[in-house]
Amino acid sequence: MAELPKECLPPVEYLPEVVRLLPEIDYPERFNLADVLLDENVKKRGDKVAIYFEDQRMTYSELQTTVNRFANVLREIRVEKNDRVMLRAPNVPEYIVWNFACWRIGAIPVLINHLNRYEEVAFKANDSEAVAICVHEKFYEDVEKARAQCPKLKHVIVLGKKIADTLNYREMLEGQSTEAESEVCSREDYARLIYSSGTTGMPKGILTTLEGVMSVTDTHGKHVLKIREDDILGGHPYFTFAFGSVNYTMEPWRFGASVSIISRFRTEDQFRLIQDHKITMLFAVPTAFNMMLSVEGAAERYDLTSVRLCQSAGEWLPGATVSEWKRRFGVTIIDSLGSGDLMYWLSTFEGMDEKKFGSTGVSVPGFENVVVDETFTEVPPGTTGELVVRGPVGQTYWRRPEKQVEGVCPLDSKFAGWSRPGIIFMQDEDGYFWYKGRSDDMIVTAGYKIPGGEVEGALNDHPAVLESAVVDTPDKERGNVIKAFVVLREEYEPSEALAKELQEWVKQKIEPYKYPRIIEFAKAEALPRTSTGKIQRRVLREKEHAKGSAG
């Protein structure tokens, strides 16, 4: 068994407090995730289709057989418990196999987006001290460039064609036993290392325990999505993205459900898969839902009647999108707030009052959420403040002790040990939480502190706006003013008149002084983004301040 480097683990005194508020999340001291989430399904429903991919079908028994073979491969090349194994591929069935095989032997999957360039591949390989990487042939080039910079990366396993100086995934499976022993693991062992998207700085490694993986299935999966055995979960979020990691590599398997895989999102392809795979639960980011809404006649051209629930995550979901989707397709989109750190801890739900559309809903069962002021004192309803969170998982960082200290409430405060996701919220009288922005996106102008996310929320409710990003830009009189980068829907054209209309719209939606004094219309592809598609407001802000300095 490999020992985890002590210098990579968070300071014990700053570990988040873990609370088990539901009886179903009090797990045994020892278990193996592959036993619980795969083998138990094989016993009950081995012949059931577990994975739908294009025209391929893989049953639970077939999935187990392949997982066991690859687990034996990993052991053969001397990957041990606690070793880190990087996974780099688009959404394909083999990714599910790799993930389960790591869990079988107690190795820790390291999730790395297949769109990361070689500098980031090298950074994450060295930061995690990964000993192996499983990579799709189409995304090997950046791995090849990074290898020379990664002395601890011993093995490169390629899915696809044979490549010199690498191991071939298909060849390695041949002749392997279909039986594999499960490593004895503790619920406090680590089951995943995922990196933040880097919207506000360098990506940081986030650790998740085995208990954390199980708890998201029994909180969000059970009580919010209410996943059933007959469900087929589909949509575009990458498995390497926190959204896709939870919704495809964790939640379905707890309930014996199935997954539908799409490697690359295109609106027409997604509609076709809903029809062909009979998807019952559809997952997408807000932009993707808006793109699908732009397809004329989709409800008439495709059979979408199998869908019973949709879920959004990754970015704030405009209430207008929820209402229009319900009108067009007759299905609810719930909006769940999640992260690599805390999984899901706030969510809207089916049957919610339409007056609350645009909110982030209420606490996911098993979690507690409180809005506090700068002294970590709980504020009354209607007051904006920082959100702090407690539940069966907490913010736990790899090799970043300074972030660990920042990630939990001070030890001398009432909320010591509660996690600080760095988000500004307001909780209303009915207990619903309303997103106002990130704490690091707070804009100070003319003495006012304004959450950029609140302005974005108002802009995004306008029918002309597809998405927006709000930052501060230098101003001689006010120090800073609010500037909005606005991406329009296809049927709208930029104009000075539309800019003024948007400004007046914001004044009607929120306090008038929060309106954006500058609006710049932009193409979606022109905005800086992370590999997961999130707009990098930090980059926009830095460019604005660089221009201000130059002036």
**pLDDT tens-digit profile of 11-51?**
999 999 999 999 999 999 999 999 999 999 999 999 999 99
Question: Which fold, 233-437?
Answer: Rossmann fold (3.40.50)
**Distance between CA atoms of residues 372 and 427, nearest Å:** 10
Helix axes 242-249, 93-105, angle to 10 degrees: 80
User: Per-residue pLDDT for 436 more than 90?
Assistant: no
User: Per-residue pLDDT for 549 more than 80?
Assistant: no
Q: Is 446-550 CATH 3.30.70.420?
A: no
Strand ranges inside 73-187, DSSP E:
84-88, 108-111, 132-136, 155-159, 167-168
Q: Return the pLDDT at 193.
A: 98
Backbone angles phi, psi at 189, to 5 degrees: -65, 160
Q: What CATH number labels 6-209? A: 3.40.50.12780
Would you say 500 and 492 are in contact if contact means Cβ atoms under 8 Å apart? no
pLDDT (mean) for 278-292: 93
User: For 388-411, how does the pLDDT look when each residue is reduced to its tens digit (9 = 90+)?
Assistant: 999 999 999 999 999 999 999 999
User: Per-residue pLDDT for 2 more than 60?
Assistant: yes
pLDDT (mean) for 228-240: 96
Structural domain boundaries in the chain: 6-209, 233-437, 446-550
pLDDT (mean) for 101-128: 94
Number of H helices and number of E strands within the chain?
18, 26
* CB-count exposure of residue 122 (10 Å: 0-12, 13-18, 19+): buried
Q: If pLDDT is split at 50, 70 and 90, which confidence band does 198 have?
A: low
Helix axes 93-105, 60-76, angle to 10 degrees: 60
Q: Return the pLDDT at 443.
A: 80
pLDDT (mean) for 361-370: 98
Structural Rg of the chain based on CA atoms: 23
| Shared fold status for 6-209 and 233-437 | yes
